[in-house]
Chain A
Amino acid sequence: MSEAIDRDINRSHMKVSDEIAIDIRNMNKWFGTFHVLRDIDLTVHKGERIVIAGPSGSGKSTLIRCINRLEEHQAGHITVDGVELTSDIKNIDKVRSEVGMVFQHFNLFPHLTVLENCTLAPIWVRKVPRKQAESTAMAFLEKVKIPEQAYKYPGQLSGGQQQRVAIARSLCMQPKIMLFDEPTSALDPEMIKEVLDTMIELAEEGMTMLCVTHEMGFAQAVANRVIFMDQGQIVEQNNPHDFFNNPRSERTKLFLSQILGH
């Protein structure tokens, strides 16, 4: 189960502070008439690593996509780093530049080189001078261990490399919070580890992270909270040890028995 994680996690920086990073109150969302998120209450503190699990269609992705307003919520409140998400475009842009997002299908810009992918937002949104943006980007590409690919186009890289570029691209905006939407689901088994390693490193540095993932090994090793969702609701949340060893709800037990059963 946790074969992908074969090293000791350095927990010295993984401290959870009292400051609130994300505050979701009574949030509801519908797709047409379909009630996709129901009464979501969730408070995320700075430095927390949260893994969101659940069957497909349970609203996990929709929940984290609401946090940077890729999806609009229809009722309740979402406050990110002190800024409430309303239809005010200024607030949305402010939140988006503080929150990094990594997608299942990478969503790199295929017409730009890896380096250009990483420098685009800092130059055009943060107004960082090009030289400085490039050196920051190289530093982050170094960190995800692919500096030698900087001048290639995304189409020339493997899936795992592309996902690491996508992580570097988000990091170049120096985000305070990182959202991961099933970052390893589209990858070959051999490439999952390289992406998880990068995510673990981020966690070790104290990044606030919300990960929708099916990598339960990662959840056990890194998360300080696991949230289980079903039918648009938070069914259970607990620390990973108790979540995996003493699940309380029947739905959670069924889910765990199915994904860990063989």
Chain B
Amino acid sequence: MSEMHAETVPFVRETMLPPAPPPIREAGAVRWLRQNLFSGPVNTILTLLGIAIIWFIVSHFWPWFAHSVWRADSLAQCREIIARTWGEGASGACFAVIRERWHQYMFGFYPPELYWRPLLAFGLLMVALAPILFSESRIIRRIVLIVSATATLILALALGIPTPALILAATAMIGAIAVAERQPTRLLIFSALYPFLGVWLLWGGSLWGPLMVLASFGLGALAWVVVARLLPLLAAAAAIIVALVWWIGFAGRAAEDLQNLLPLAITPVASDQFGGFLLAITIGIAGIALSLPMGIMLALARRSDMFLVKSLSVMFIEFIRGVPLISLLFVASLLLNYFLPPGTNFDIILRVIIMVTLFAAAYMAEVIRGGLAALPKGQYEAADALGLDYWKAQRLIILPQALKISIPGIVSTFIGMFKDTTLVTFVGLFDPLKGISDFVRANFAWKGIYWEPFIFVGAIFFIICFSMSRYSMFLERRLARDHR
């Protein structure tokens, strides 16, 4: 009775308690081990089992790595060296093949005296990407720009870049860094022009070709402005028609005429000379850059109220997702030739890029649709209630949030697509994994070498894909807005 009574005594707090620090927990490695590895009998057994498995794997592979040979002219010589140094029957890796053939893994059959061109294209790609990927972090952008500029120039020098090109490249790099420091958004102009510059550097030929294609965008924009004043509804259609007519009908001839007037050309390199990581990265980057906007449009179309737009989008997405990428690549390499007028030379890499883009875009659309569906209806309503029209609402309110939610899925699609570029081997292109490796093995000196090229190519793929994955996590952290 008295105990109950004690609880019902009126109570008024006179002073509020100040916040106190949390109790200090016991720390140290021993505690961590006990908690995470040896917390109970089952956990202890699993830990020991895990250690045993790791030991088994490492103990088998370590000698092979430790005995690796980097200087030899053939696989036979490698084996001889291993047998001589480590005794008969010892196993060892023969990385000499990488040392001898690294340039083919990187550049395929690109003319060796022109290796600096893909390298420069890659370096400038970093400059073009920096303001997009690191738009909000000045310091990271600075580091990326300075490191890639320095590395590109040093490597280009090592690959024998001609002096005028080196001076131009150095000026461009330093200029880009200066612009990025002052007005990073200005650098986006370079990013927009980069595709034309990159294509010109890789394939060479007359500068007028890419410039005339660029002109078709300019003419399209001009048509937009002119028609928008008279007939606003037809502006988009007019812009597209003008751009296409110029591109298909006149751009080629205009480029030739201008080339005759003022020759501005570098050595052309044909598509069948591309190979290795040059090919994989070219297809991968083009596919990534094109499939994201296309995926966004498809996702919006699939959520559209307009029946025809929606059905077309659904049919496209479901068809593309329903067939293997290889079948699309076969269509690109074989069937298109039957449908195109005879004599047309439709570049094989371009065809593959189109197919890879369509394929990735279908997956991208579904990933982005997931992000769109995750947004509360209130966001759409608030945008509507403020009087924003459809495109403004999508651009300013819906897509920034939906894309942020979809970052992990988008980057997964990118990673998957980049690895899928190795499938181009089936249409006769030299991907690094099979195309180039088969070519290397076709030489008698390296007949029968499998593990070393696979490990080398796999390591490079891993570095690129892991970087993309890390970047996606960085971006997610940076865009986090829920400070709860």
Name A residues whose Cβ lies closer than 8 Å to a Cβ of B: 68-70, 89, 93, 96-97, 99-101, 103, 105-111, 120-121, 124-125, 153, 155-156, 169-170, 173
CB neighbours (8 Å) of B400 from chain A are: 111
B182 within 8 A of A: no
How far apart are the CA atoms of A89 and B391 in the complex, in Å? 13
**Extra pairs beyond A105-B376, A120-B397, A155-B483 (18, CB < 8 Å):** A69-B384, A96-B384, A96-B385, A96-B387, A97-B387, A99-B385, A109-B379, A109-B397, A109-B401, A111-B401, A120-B386, A121-B386, A125-B386, A125-B387, A125-B392, A155-B481, A155-B482, A156-B483
CB closest residue in chain A, given B400: A111
Contact with A along B374-405 (1 / 0, CB 8 A): 00101101101111110010001100110010
How far apart are the CA atoms of A170 and B386 in the complex, in Å? 7
CB closest residue in chain A, given B479: A111
Contact with A along B401-430 (1 / 0, CB 8 A): 100100000000000000000000000000
Query: Could you list some 17 contacts between A and B, CB below 8 A?
Result: A70-B385, A93-B389, A97-B386, A103-B382, A103-B385, A106-B378, A107-B378, A108-B382, A110-B401, A121-B387, A124-B388, A124-B396, A125-B386, A125-B388, A153-B481, A155-B482, A170-B385
Q: Is the interface of B mostly helix, strand, loop or mixed?
A: helix
CB closest residue in chain A, given B482: A155
Name B residues whose Cβ lies closer than 8 Å to a Cβ of A: 376, 378-379, 381-382, 384-389, 392, 396-397, 400-401, 404, 479, 481-484
- Whether the Cβ atoms of A68 and B385 lie closer than 8 Å is yes
How far apart are the CA atoms of A124 and B385 in the complex, in Å? 14
* B74 vs chain A, min Cβ distance (A): 59
CB closest residue in chain A, given B383: A109
CB neighbours (8 Å) of A109 from chain B are: 379, 382, 397, 401
Nearest 6 pairs between A and B by C-beta?
Answer: A97-B387, A107-B382, A107-B378, A121-B386, A96-B387, A101-B385
CB neighbours (8 Å) of B386 from chain A are: 96-97, 120-121, 125, 169-170, 173
CB neighbours (8 Å) of A107 from chain B are: 376, 378-379, 381-382
* A146 vs chain B, min Cβ distance (A): 16
CB neighbours (8 Å) of B401 from chain A are: 109-111
CB closest residue in chain A, given B395: A124
* A166 vs chain B, min Cβ distance (A): 8
* B480 vs chain A, min Cβ distance (A): 9
- Whether the Cβ atoms of B381 and A124 lie closer than 8 Å is no
How far apart are the CA atoms of A209 and B127 in the complex, in Å? 54
CB neighbours (8 Å) of B397 from chain A are: 109, 120
CB neighbours (8 Å) of A153 from chain B are: 481, 483
